[in-house]
Structure 1
Amino acid sequence: MRVGTVTGLSLLLAVVGAPCASAVDWKKPASPQRGLLSEFRFGFSAHDPWGAESRGNSANLTGEILFAKPFTASDLFTSYFIPRPHVGGSLNFDGQTSFAYAGLSWTVDITPSLFVEGSIGGAFHDGDTKTSAMSRNLESLGCSPLFRESGSVGVRLSANWSVMATLEHLTNAGACSENRGLTNVGARVGYTF
């Protein structure tokens, strides 16, 4: 899947979502349930568009499950400091680096419909770790596991549905001899339980 296709799918997602967003009342996320799961997300991302693995204009299918906050705060401001645990994965369509990850996510409401999110955690990947990997147009990631950070800007279409743009980066932070890193950018749809 090419980056152009991912961009097209992202725009389609935004165009289809916009009329739905205007047709519903802007609401806060669905009220927290006492269940284990909080939200499921899926989408596509351009695979390392600025790195060595970008030469094939490859794309990833992404999926993520966010769990409920371990406890709730009495006020909205304090609740922003309580993270939601998450697990997820990114499957590359062209045999380049795929990975599974886990970590913590913090979501902050800017308006009732607009939110930002930051995540930190770790990831295990199937990519190359040696310097010779560069000769095959793959990133030399140095080791596995890696640190994973991500940031998202999203819009709530209803109490349950949202769309978001996400930037994620994987790195060993200098813990191994090679540290090329891997950066993906994409769009996701979320469903809050």
Structure 2
Amino acid sequence: MIAKRPTPPETMFGDDFKSFVPAADVGEWVEATFFDSSSPVANPEYEHLANAHIGYLWTVVENNRKGKRVIGQCETGSPQGTMGKWSRAWAEQQVVEWFGSVPNLIITLDADHCRECGDAEFMALVEHELYHAAQDVDAFGAPKFSRSTGRPVFVIRGHDVEEFVGVVRRYGADAAGVRAMVDAANQKPEIARVRIATHVARVS
């Protein structure tokens, strides 16, 4: 049975809203829905995330990239980029205040989108971000672990496909390098929309 999905708190949409709010209930829902092997929609491809510390955030900050609205984002927990020592320190302090410690990964979800979309769309969004979370590998392709802690080292994995519809239309799936994606799209979905609706309705 699929647990009822979490929703952003209504306080995020009032006059005294906060731009970012920790979403611990999303983490609990993810574990029960996708990590627990007894769940009807469990995904064994997340086995490497079993012991990962993942922080989840709701946000009402609009984000656009390359002309498209960003509704979800997966990042490593430690602040990245060219930050000064103080900037990195206050960023890490904020992360610790949200999650108790610096997570391996942080997944941020667009609160406006998530309160309006359907269950299937929400599940697909969360899984999209989870698929970005990968364990790093060494030069020989073996899973990488931290020398100091012995815990897995996580990185952000890119998309399987990055191509324009026009290129696929003009040259075909094989030439565009998207055959696997096209074949997957042509198969019956492993998790049908009606199956999601039925399971969610039982527990709502």
* TM over 0.5, shorter chain: no
The structure with the largest alpha-carbon Rg is 2
**Please, what TM-score do these two structures have when normalized by structure 1?**
0.30
| Structure with the higher strand share, 1 or 2 | 1
| Structure with the higher helix share, 1 or 2 | 2
**Please, what TM-score do these two structures have when normalized by structure 2?**
0.29
